Amino acid sequence: MRDGREGHRAVRTTAWCGVGLALLLAGCGDGGGSGADGGTDAPAEADRADGRDVPIADTSEIPPTADPRPRIFVPRVVPDEPGGAIEDHKQRMAIFWFGRVTRRDDFVQCRVGYDDVLWMMQCAVFDREIYDEAPDAASIPEWDALRLYFDLDGDPAKRAIDARSWRIDAQAGRHGTSQTAVYRGEAGAWVAAGVEAGEDCRGTPGALCVGKGYRGEERDQSRGWHVNFFVPWAALGLSGPPGAGARLWNVALTASDRDSLDGTLRGAPQHWPGAGFDENDPSTWGAWEFLDGHFLSREESGATPGHGRPAYAVAYEPPAHAAGTEQTIEIRQGEGSDVIDEGAVGASEVLCSGDDDYNFGDGPSSWGGNTGREYFHVQDQEDYADWPCFSRIYVKFPLARVPAGQVVVSAALRMHHAMPTSGGDEGEWSLIQAFEVPAVLRDGVTPWDATNLTWNDAPLPVENCAGFWGDRTGMTETGWDDLPEWRWDVGRAVGRAVEAGAEHVAFALYSADSEYHTGKQFVRSSDFPDWGDPTQRPTLEVVVADPE
């Protein structure tokens, strides 16, 4: 089947620059860079967590408790070869998603990263019908298009756009006029910025550039389209990447959908971060935080076949606690009264189906609304023409066994890889990222479980927490009793949930993988009912302690 392209404690530092751990932060030697509002932070030496090298990305100029908006941590992209182009390393970018897959509605997933010269975002739109004939820039939002909003201040209380606010309107580029327009805020309104956006974005464009492409056949037989945004720091009046005190931006996206030439057929606009969006009010947008460091490459991480390694983790500073009172709690199905909810969206008995009536249909029998899953796996690829092969895992843990009055010192999400889902010996390596997500569906009310979790209704990410490199090694190589463990540092998410008194904490697993044959199937909570090793089920390992 083709899928489409030990104890643990938190490390509160920026990176360890010693032998054995690759360089995570710019300050450790990967090129540096400074923004107009300040330079990069100097890295501190990190501990080694019980023999594991855990790269930690220092974060959060505005604490998450003071800014509950969805937040994407955007990494520096360090090419494998000097002078390499950022666009060739999308696997090591952050990824986020929004929207729905139906005949009328569109789904969007975006990869984003930056280097010393510019930041880049690629957004792929799953769209069956492409109409892109805007006669002028002002009418772009009436056609298939993306509108990107970003505000350089990052203040979650900012209520009006100004000269620090930008908007790029990019029409789909398939049959029609390929319109693009750039705006800036002025006295609470959007005005033309007088900036032309190029379209030939190969390599490292020296000016703002918006590249476009598509997949599919005729207007009503499309697989989708994409937009590549290349935005040089200099075009924004900055001398380089955002430095200390300027790394948080307000950001939003809108996807507009037109499904007929006369405009009588169209899908509902889709927004990131979701409901309540107002294009003139940055406080209703989401947040990007530019990390000082990068997600490690596989070689940098030290991962070897059957022995994966972390690519990054978002820093968590636990509350002060009494030394010597730490205890480890393992939350998983079969431990006490723990009930774990989980599911994979996108995967089904017709995974990679070529039946587009099914793929772009509506309702519970459609691909986007399906709950009849047979797989528990993660897969993605850059070739969005194969998007019916894509899949994400969701898993939700109860927090009832975390003792009241204790604080979270660290936490890790542990999963065991069972087998690749395609490619055989050609199965590619994956950098799978863990995301904190709500414990309810997108309606904000209904708790999700295996019976109602779908691609179209599954919750959107709150934050990207951590990444882990692993290969195709599974039960064929190791047997069922010694499957490779994949591990994500999720202390920040669990600590926040416990502090808020939440009953559950939930995660999604997805990747920005670019190649074909990256599918990875993991052990489910229902596996090993009366044989094998049940400790290989999805596990949340939480270290707690008495407050100081």
Residue closest to 208 by CA, chosen among 134, 119, 137, 124? 119
Residues 236 and 164 in one domain: yes
Check which CATH number belongs to the domain holding 241 and give it. 2.60.40.1190
Contact in structure between 386 and 128 (CB atoms under 8 Å): no
Domain membership of residue 47 (yes or no) is no
Residues 441 and 403 in one domain: yes
Residue closest to 265 by CA, chosen among 144, 357, 413? 144
Residues 281 and 317 in one domain: no
Domain membership of residue 48 (yes or no) is no
Torsion angle of the four alpha carbons 148, 153, 156, 162, in this order, in degrees rounded to the nearest 10: -70
Phi, then psi, of 502 in degrees rounded to 5: -70, 150
Q: H or E segment at 122?
A: strand 118-126
Residue closest to 144 by CA, chosen among 118, 168, 179? 179
Burial-class residue 341 by CB neighbours within 10 Å (0-12, 13-18, 19+).
buried
> Final residue of a domain: which of 269, 293, 317?
293
What is the span of the domain harbouring residue 73? 26-33+67-293
> Final residue of a domain: which of 234, 264, 293?
293
Residues 123 and 227 in one domain: yes
Residues 234 and 310 in one domain: no
CA 313 to chain centre: 13
Domain membership of residue 19 (yes or no) is no
Q: Measured between alpha carbons, how far is 522 from 376 in angstroms, rounded to an integer? A: 6
Residues 348 and 200 in one domain: no
Residues 188 and 320 in one domain: no
Per-residue confidence of the chain (548 residues) as pLDDT tens digits?
333 322 222 222 222 222 222 233 333 333 333 333 333 333 333 333 333 455 656 555 555 556 789 999 999 999 988 888 999 999 999 999 999 998 899 999 999 999 999 999 999 999 989 999 999 999 999 999 999 999 999 999 999 999 999 999 999 988 788 899 999 999 999 999 999 999 888 877 889 999 999 887 777 778 899 999 999 999 999 999 999 899 999 999 999 999 999 999 999 999 999 889 999 999 999 999 999 999 999 999 999 999 999 999 999 999 999 999 999 999 999 998 999 999 999 865 555 666 777 778 888 878 888 887 778 999 998 888 877 788 999 999 999 999 999 999 999 999 999 998 876 667 789 999 999 999 999 999 999 999 999 999 999 999 999 999 999 999 999 999 999 999 999 999 999 999 999 999 999 999 999 888 898 999 999 998 888 899 999 999 999 999 99
Domain membership of residue 52 (yes or no) is no
Domain membership of residue 14 (yes or no) is no
Residues 224 and 356 in one domain: no
Domain membership of residue 40 (yes or no) is no
Domain membership of residue 179 (yes or no) is yes
Contact in structure between 192 and 170 (CB atoms under 8 Å): no
Q: Measured between alpha carbons, how far is 168 from 150 in angstroms, rounded to an integer? A: 9
Residues 251 and 312 in one domain: no
Token couple for 430: 């994956």
Residues 395 and 256 in one domain: no
Residues 344 and 441 in one domain: yes
Residues 229 and 365 in one domain: no
Residue closest to 253 by CA, chosen among 273, 236, 268? 273
> How many separate domains does the chain show?
2
Cis peptide before 273 (omega within 30 of 0): yes
Q: Measured between alpha carbons, how far is 104 from 106 in angstroms, rounded to an integer? A: 7
Token couple for 285: 């947008």
Token couple for 359: 């793929």
> Final residue of a domain: which of 266, 293, 320?
293
